[in-house]
Structure 1
Amino acid sequence: MGIFEVMESGVQTYARSFPVVFDKAQGAWLTDKNGKRYLDFLAGAGTLNYGHNHPALKEVLIDYIQADGITHGLDMHTSAKGAFLTALQDIILKPRGLDHVAQFTGPTGTNAVEAAMKLARKVTGRDNIVAFTNGFHGVSLGALAATGNQHHRGGAGTVLANVTRLPYDGYPGAGEDSLLLFETMLGDNSSGLDKPAAVLFEVVQGEGGLNVASMDWLKRLQSICRKHGILMIVDDIQAGCGRTGTFFSFEPAGIKPDIITLSKSLSGYGLPFALVLIRPDLDQWEPGEHNGTFRGNNHAFVTARRALEIFWQDDEFASAVRAKGELLTTRLQKLVDRHPTLFVKVKGRGMMQGIKCRDGDIADVITSKAFERGLVIETAGPDDEVVKCLCPLIISEQDLNQGLDWLAEAIEETAGERLGKAS
């Protein structure tokens, strides 16, 4: 571990929770340099929905490299990009009634969010963006202004402006109708709310603690936005690409966002890739107004296209994800029912679920004990109080149950220790 301690910045995070040197990975499993295997319930923070080194994706990538395919192409036209765009249009967008155009941004989710916010401001001529409590949208300055977490906001070193924060669905103290405040303020000339260019939100808040917007809330939010000429931006960077059981997390609500941001699992292989989907009439960029050197990761185009072809031609894969999500709900709920002194409730949707603990210390102990058993799992939420299951969507039922068994063992050990201290 010496080289990491000497050379790497103190900003590193995950290495502190999982202090081993990983060497290989396949499917839902990681292997460290000593040969110990770990079941991955983190999946690159949702970057590896199709698992590590999926054979079919690896094959097309190797073939492409061996054939001297374009690696880096800025935003020039390439065969790999054309094939990806065709698959995106035919397999994902058209069947869902979406006619959005694709903007290739820098390869990170936060850059996609930056582009979406900039475009909304450019098109509407307004500065303000409405974001929601516990939202997480990235840590570059524009996206960070829309992010709620104080720890991340504290790293900015400057004022984070032009964002109004409103209560997300179910936010404590907001009552049953958290959008009433928004609607009332928009209709009150003395509310102090500058009419926003857009609302920016996640359908399931990943880093914010697995908070889930109801279908009615999503439909009402769209109605408010349409009434007042406000653009709707869905940040589907973590919840998209099948994580909730449909390709886009918003599909069950029947809404059609004006702008959608994607990244993380979009490449299918863990390769850096981000995309902004834009309603055609909003695509008002001048050439080069938002650019970046690494917009043309052709290796990502190759694996992304193949992932769409393998997993999204029909509903078979999505149906399996939903079934595993139901299994996850059932098992997590049993743990909550068994340990009411440790837990509050199950949170999340699909294969993006977890358990809210009474406090962050409990969650930290549980995840540490789970890692000792061979389970890589993280926490989320404002106080890191949610134990978050984010395993690859291709995980077998057997491996899913194995991971949940290890989690249950870690919980039992934690409960026993706390009972011992109490007595």
Structure 2
Amino acid sequence: MEKMIFENYESKVQSYSRKFPAVFAKAIGATVFDEKGRRYIDFLAGAGSLNYGHNDRYIKGKLIDYLLDDNICHSLDLHTVAKREFLDTFNTLILKPRNLAYVCQFTGPTGTNAVEAAFKLARKITGRSNIISFTNGFHGVTLGALSAAGNSFYRKAAGVSANNVTFMPFDGYFGKEIDTLSMLEKLLQDKGSGLDLPAAIIVETIQGEGGVNVASDKWLRSLDQLCKTYGIVLIVDDIQAGCGRTGNFFSFESAGIIPDIITLSKSLSGMGLPMSVVLIKPELDVWAPGEHNGTFRGNNPAFVTAKAAIDHYWADDNLSRAVHQKSSLLKSRIESIASKIDGDCKQRGRGMMQGLACPSGEIAHHISREAFKHGLILETSGARGQVLKFLMPLNIPLELLHEGLDILEYSIDQLGGEGVYPTSTYQDADIN
């Protein structure tokens, strides 16, 4: 009966609820609780939308104060106090310290809408239509962004041909010894290659949905130089890998590049509220007023929480240092756990965006399902669902991080056997 409402009235398109069959009620930090009071450690974190955890006290407090004072919630693209304060804080604490100069375009509040806007703008800037994306890339499921998805499962759902996108091999696609960008440059130089000079190249520095594939800093620098040489707009999709996931606010910082356009969403709002931004180099901001818009591009509560998150976590380097520390621990634990699985299993990723590549999607699915039984939410990714993906909140306490990894290790041991990992109820935790 408790799930009958969902089965009767919600579309079959629902996905995560099939993998994690519970009715969730409360959440705090890196833990969520179902309506029966059972606790789960959250290594999914809203698919990377909750880098600061569920219901962060500081961020939530700022939001509550804002709402209680009858401030603006919906504003289209009108100027508001909340938007002004976000823009000032973002520029002061994020852009200026990194010697970056961008203007912010607020799009409809989803990552895929930011990608749509980035594609449209790149085509307007260059007068060209083709976009280059990479194998195993993922940038959203609206039609334009979907055309740049490597996984045929998503592209087929469009029901129409995905045009004006060419796929090229990502870093390491053919193995470490093959330079995929040399191949791309040769195709660009050859008038007989059939590859039209693109308007833009879009890239994730770490491919999340594609299986936690990491682009090296050297490869990213070469890509940046290639774009400069041929007058191609470089778009970095930092929707999942950004906002501190790698230890730096932007995932490309270690490569020392400055993309022409950056798309941000997911954890930008700080606590899961819908918000997305396109960062544009000022000289490339050639939009005419209203050329790209969206009814909910002025989501002021998200401006408030985004400012609060930046104030609280990015005014110093404490979070960044903690992420680097935890990422080393996470890598070590994943490598140890990989040794327990029969077959070729490997750690992938960097920062706190890591993966455990299993021999098959079936094995990864069984591990994820078993872990959920014992109180851990951990999703899979990759073209075959073969990679367990770790996206826990960045501020997860070390003891909770270890406990989640212990559950994973225990679950692998229990596959084919019996046993129940001890769990607690939400009455044991402070969730007020």
Cα distance change, pair 115–382 in 1 and its aligned pair in 2 (3 A):
same
Cα distance between partner residues in 2 of 1:247 and 1:129? 26
AA partner of residue 259 (structure 1): I
Quickly say closer, same or farther: Cα 1:147–1:174, change in 2 above 3 A.
Answer: farther
Q: Does residue 1:366 correspond to 2:355, yes or no?
A: no
Equivalent residue letter for 1:249: S
Q: How does 1:47-196 map to 2 (within 5 A)?
A: 47-172=49-174, 175-196=177-198
Equivalent position of 1:246 in the other structure: 248
Match of 1:288 among 286, 290, 299: 290
Q: Per-residue CA shift, 1:121-168, capped at 9, x if unaligned?
A: 001000001000000000000000001111111110101000010000
TM-score under structure 1 length normalisation: 0.97
Corresponding residue number in structure 2 for 1:328: 330
- 1:343 offset after TM fit, Å? 4.1
Equivalence for 2:376: 375
Match of 1:421 in 2: none
- Amino acid aligned to 1:366: I
Distance 1:301 1:251 in 2: 24
Rounded to whole Å, the distance in 1 between the matches of 2:220 and 2:345 is 25
Amino acid aligned to 1:399: L
Q: Tell me which amino acid in the other structure corresponds to 1:215.
A: D
Letter in 2 for 1:224: L
User: Is the contact made by 2:339 and 2:345 (CA closer than 8 Å) also made in structure 1?
Assistant: no
Q: Would you say the 8 A contact 1:105–1:274 is kept in 2?
A: yes
Partner of 1:420: none
Moved over 4 A (4+): none
In 1, the alpha carbon distance for the partners of 2:393 and 2:265 equals 16
Alpha-carbon separation, structure 1, partners of 2:340 and 2:115: 40
Identity %: 57
1:402 maps to which residue?
A: 403
Give distance in 2, aligned partners of 1:414 and 1:136: 31
Measure, in 1, the Cα distance between the counterparts of 2:242 and 2:16.
Answer: 22
For 1:3-48, what per-residue CA distance to the aligned partner results, in whole angstroms no more than 9, with x for missing partners? Answer: 0000000000000011110001000010110010110000000000
Query: What is the DSSP-based 3-state SS (H/G/I as helix, E as strand, rest coil) of the residue aligned with 2:180?
Result: coil
Letter of the structure 1 residue corresponding to residue 259 of structure 2? P
The 8 Å contact of residues 233 and 260 in structure 1, kept in 2 or not, is answered as yes
- 2:258 pairs with one of 256, 259, 271: 256
Residue 42 of structure 2, aligned match among 37, 40, 43: 40
Task: Give, in whole Å, the separation in 2 of the partners of 1:118 and 1:20.
Answer: 40
**3-state SS of paired residue (1:146):** coil
User: Normalised by the size of structure 2, how large is the TM-score?
Assistant: 0.95
Aligned partner of 1:2 in structure 2 is 4
Q: Any idea what the Cα deviations from partners look like across 1:364-398, whole Å, max 9, x if unmatched?
A: 00000000000011000000000111111110000
Matched, 1:351 2:348: no
Instruction: Tell me how far apart the structure 1 counterparts of residues 44 and 332 of structure 2 sit (CA, whole Å).
Output: 20
Amino acid at match of 1:371: F
How far the C-alpha of 1:416 sits from its partner, in A, is 6.4
Q: Deviations over 1:287-341 (max 9, x none)?
A: 00000100000000000001001111121111101111110000001112333x2
CA distance in 2, matches of 1:416, 1:50: 36
Decide whether the 8 Å contact of 1:186 with 1:195 is kept in 2.
yes
Following superposition, the deviation at residue 172 of structure 1 comes to 2.9
Which residue of structure 2 lines up, in the alignment, with residue 338 of structure 1? 340
Deviation readout 1:201-238 (Å, 9 max, x if unpaired): 10000000000000100000011110111110000000
The unaligned stretches of length 5 or more in structure 2 are 419-432
Query: How far does residue 344 in structure 1 lie from its aligned partner after superposition?
Result: 2.2
* Aligned residue among 268, 271, 281 for 1:269: 271
RMSD (CA atoms): 1.1
Provide the rounded CA distance (Å) in 1 between the counterparts of 2:115 and 2:260: 13
Q: Secondary structure at the match of 1:31?
A: strand
Given candidates 294, 300, 304, the residue that maps to 1:298 is 300
Tell me: CA distance 1:374–1:192, structure 2 relative to 1, closer, same or farther (3 Å): same
CA contact (8 A) 1:342 1:415 kept: no
**Is contact 1:360-1:386 (8 Å) kept?**
yes
SS in 2 for 1:295: coil
Secondary structure of residue in 1 paired with 2:12: coil
Give secondary structure in 2 for the equivalent of 1:354.
strand
| Contact kept? 2:335, 2:346, Cα under 8 Å | yes
CA distance in 2, matches of 1:174, 1:226: 24
Structure 1: 5+ residue runs without aligned partners? 418-423
Task: Encode CA deviations 1:165-184: one digit per residue, 9 max, x unaligned.
Answer: 00000103685201111110
